[in-house]
Chain A
Amino acid sequence: MTDTTNSAVNERPTTSAPFADPANFVPTEARPAPIAIRPGPLTWLKENLFNTWYNAVFTLAAIWFLATLIPNIIDWLVVNALWEAAPAEACRDVSGACGAFVYEKWRFILFGTYPFEEQWRPGASVIVFIGLVIVSCFKPMWNKSLLVIWPVGLLVCWILLSGGIFGLSHVPNNLWGGLPITLMLAVIGCGVAFPISIALALGRRSKMPIIKAFSVGYIELIRGVPLITVLFMASVMFPLFMPEGITIDKLLRAQVAIIMFAAAYLAEVVRGGLQAIPKGQYEAADAMGLSYWQAMIFIILPQALKITIPPQVNTFIGMFKDTSLVLIVGIFDLMFTMRGAINDLEWRNYYKEGFVFVAVIYFLFCFSMSKYSQWLEHELHRGHKRI
């Protein structure tokens, strides 16, 4: 509705209603938005997939491609596959997937060379470990209780894996392998790297020259070399520099290398978040007399870490998969045990099944991380959208 006191405008030709009288202006009552009519499937196809000749060509090509691909996949995975416990010979006449390989080797792939009768222990430790992670994911748990739960949980995992007390036989960690190793390297790696990365990011923005130089040097050095190099240095070169008689466990060295590497990457992610916080937030904190650390802990970091969730999770997922590189220093992660399984002469032809099996495991973990991060973003965003 237009109201105006300008008489010149009133001379404009009107097609329907005359201009409202401003003195007796009555606001128009709001009416509901028109109901969107959903197009029928045929209209939808026409509008979206066949609306131009080149879209039609792409659509037809895609249909042909999928029509040839999907039946083949189903044939391999289901129709022609053998999904039961069977000796390797049984798979020779099978053109599809040899599920028998998975039946035969799953325990070796998941737990590596851990003594066979004791493999319930790494199994239980994986469950405890995943339980720890899941418990830490929920908001009501974000308090001091985590500081108790994690050390206790990790100790339980350690006792289960290593043994030596409570009547559990001792299993040295060079026999550990598979999923527990991958999970431990990735989760502890990222978990410990996270606070370090925050310190590095703050250090890189510090006005204190030594702290800044150290942070810049560390980040650039570690980011500038491949993870394999860091692992190799930690594993092979580091012991050379240590005083004689002091040895640090191989697994621990690899874990430290992963922490160092992840910290350098995460530091730049966090720094990006710090940079995105408006200067006014820092000024308001300063003007109120908050100290540097108070301002960081209560004002800046909560906002910076929240907006960098997507790239953080990107880095976590990358690190989770990159742990497979520890095989270079002789640690038996999930990828390595899978390769060990297909090295068995009897089963050597079924490497496809091995890779698919491991891919599914990796995917389940990475996809969960991704989904959790989306939920977390939504959860933290509730109520206080940035203005």
Chain B
Amino acid sequence: MATTAPASTAASSMGTSEVISMSGVNKWYGDFHVLKDINLSVRSGERIVVCGPSGSGKSTLIRCLNRLEEHQEGDISVGGIELTDNIKNIDAVRAEVGMVFQHFNLFPHLSVLDNCTLAPIWVKKTPKAEAEALGMKYLERVRIGEQALKYPGQLSGGQQQRVAIARALCMTPKIMLFDEPTSALDPEMVKEVLDTMVDLAKEGMTMLCVTHEMGFAKAVADRVIFMDQGEIVEQNEPNAFFDNPQNERTKEFLNQIL
């Protein structure tokens, strides 16, 4: 691991309890070494942006946190629960961690509201009426309540992604993972999704976002992590990260995207 700048930030509002810890995590796809000796610690309420070139392992990193991908070496614990083959642990972690995908992954055969209430009803055993009230509350919060009875295919990309955020929030997660949430959107719809994410960040949600939206990183991130070839190359608080990158690869990457 080649961390050149230690994570030195500690926003005053942030709790100090560690909610995610990764130590010595390695993962391979066949022979391809996609994550190399990852060590990462995230405190409650921390907002982290992960960036890096395509294929650098950033999506894989956050997908390991809710076991959409299995790591082969090292330890990952989320909310104090160790991620192993134990299905009970995996389910417990997934109940605490919400995820938003690049391609929304809404269920096209269910209405927007049903998309939101499915998991609360069946995973958390929330009564239907209560789940629907919860669904409406979060749909209103992402400013899309009036579309609740439509189907995902009838909404624009930006609206769909906001539904996906509301759907994840309906499980009242402690941590939210965002996997390139704006990459599949038309440029004019990026802002509405980012605004929703900024609101969420202001409410103190622990967030890990894989994104290339550097404006978002500057506005809300407590820490920016740069990954390349499966390693965390550099991490720092946003101002220092953008103004004074240490590593050559970071500089090259920032030159290309800024």
Contact = CB atoms under 8 A, between A and B. Distances in A.
B107 A299 contact: yes
5 contacts: A287-B66, A288-B94, A294-B122, A294-B123, A384-B153
A384 B106 CA distance: 12
B57 interface: no
A348 B95 CA distance: 74
B108 A386 contact: yes
B68 A283 contact: yes
Given A289-B91, A289-B171, A290-B122, A283 B153 contact: no
A289 B119 contact: yes
Contacts of B174: none
Contact of A284 (B105, B123, B150): B105
A384 B151 contact: yes
B152 interface: yes
A299 B119 CA distance: 11
Interface of A: 278, 280-281, 283-284, 286-291, 294, 298-299, 302-303, 306, 383-387
Nearest to B93: A289
* Closest 7 pairs (CB-CB, A-B): A384-B151, A284-B105, A289-B94, A280-B105, A288-B119, A287-B99, A289-B123
A387 B94 contact: no
Interface residues on chain B, size class: 20 to 34
B48 to A, nearest CB: 18
B36 to A, nearest CB: 24
Contact of A298 (B66, B91, B122): B122
Nearest to B118: A298
Central interface residue in B67, B91, B105, by most chain A CB within 10 Å: B105
Interface centre among A288, A298, A299, A387 (most CB of B within 10 A): A288
Contact of A280 (B66, B103, B118, B153): B103
B101 interface: yes
A383 B154 contact: yes
A286 B154 contact: no
Nearest to B157: A387
Interface string B82-102: 000000000100110111010
A278 B94 CA distance: 21
Interface string B138-165: 0000000000001111100000100000
Interface in B120-139: 122-123
